Amino acid sequence: MLTPSDFNHVFQESVRVGSPFLTLVTRKNTLDHPRLGFAIAKKQVKRAHERNRIKRLAKEYFRHHQHQFPNIDFILMAKQPVIDLDNQQIVETLNQLCQRIIAKQKD
């Protein structure tokens, strides 16, 4: 997802799941594939290399698991405590959030 209108569309009628570290905002799309976007504020994660690390891990997780996702737009938002997690913990948190989203979408 690249344009502000894509992000606004997702934020208007979204399904949200969260943890103390990350929030995942989702909405079904009309495309034939899922999409991923990021809204990681400098106020929450101050250093660029930390924001980039989170995005890099999320992109890799999404790439490996996108075949499991229905046609959904995902927006990942980070909270300040996420910088204290190591890479494996971030991936585990993403996995838990995605499983909750998939379960909610089936309902």
Q: Is 82 exposed, middle or buried (0-12, 13-18, 19+ CB in 10 A)?
A: buried
The band of 106, judged by pLDDT with boundaries at 50, 70 and 90, is confident
107 found inside a domain? no
Answer yes or no: is 68 within a domain: yes
Residue 37 belongs to some domain of the structure: yes
CA dihedral 49, 55, 61, 64 (to 10 degrees): -110
Q: Which domain holds residue 41?
A: 4-100
Count of CA atoms in the C-beta half-sphere (13 A) of 7: 10
Q: Is residue 72 included in any domain, yes or no?
A: yes
- pLDDT, residue 107, reads 65
Total domains in the chain come to: 1
CATH of residue 39: 3.30.230.10
- Read off the pLDDT of residues 14-64 as tens digits, 9 standing for 90 and up: 899 999 999 999 999 999 999 999 999 999 999 999 999 999 999 999 999
Instruction: Identify whether the C-beta of residue 74 lies closer than 8 Å to the C-beta of residue 36.
Output: yes
Q: Is residue 86 part of a domain?
A: yes
